[in-house]
């Protein structure tokens, strides 16, 4: 186990291309961010785009992720995928706005 660790560590430090592989390119960076974000108070909806090929033709799929922002007892901002009954109206507004955004953009 120790040999494996030292070999990997040496490969990391002595490989001149290692930093190139660790720095995201513009296309990689764009793929990791949502194409659109909707906020209603503490409820956030992120719309993601995924491009693939279906039957040899490019196809774009859109998806929606939902989360709620909150602050813990130390004041640190955190996010959760859980919603309470007090969040349902905001959640419905975010979903409605996401549906309107996604309709014309779907392929």
pLDDT tens digits along 39-73? 999 999 999 999 999 899 999 999 999 999 999 99
The dihedral over CA atoms of 48, 54, 59, 62, expressed in degrees to the nearest 10, equals -30
The ranges assigned to domains in the chain are 33-105
Percentage above 90 pLDDT, the chain: 63
The dihedral over CA atoms of 10, 14, 15, 20, expressed in degrees to the nearest 10, equals 110
Q: Write down the pTM of the prediction.
A: 0.67
Instruction: Give, for 97, the enclosing helix (H) or strand (E).
Output: helix 88-105
- Which of residues 14 and 72 earns the better pLDDT score? 72
């Amino acid at each position: 186990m120790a040999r494996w660790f030292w070999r990997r560590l040496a490969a990391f430090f002595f490989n001149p291309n290692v930093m190139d592989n660790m720095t995201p390119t513009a296309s990689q960076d764009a793929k990791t961010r949502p194409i659109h974000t909707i906020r209603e108070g503490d409820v956030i909806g992120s719309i993601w785009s995924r491009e693939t090929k279906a039957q040899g033709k490019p196809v774009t799929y859109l998806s929606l992720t939902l989360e709620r922002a909150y602050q813990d007892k130390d004041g640190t901002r955190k996010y959760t995928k859980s919603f309470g009954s007090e969040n349902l109206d905001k959640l419905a507004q975010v979903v409605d706005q996401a549906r309107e955004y996604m309709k014309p953009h779907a392929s």
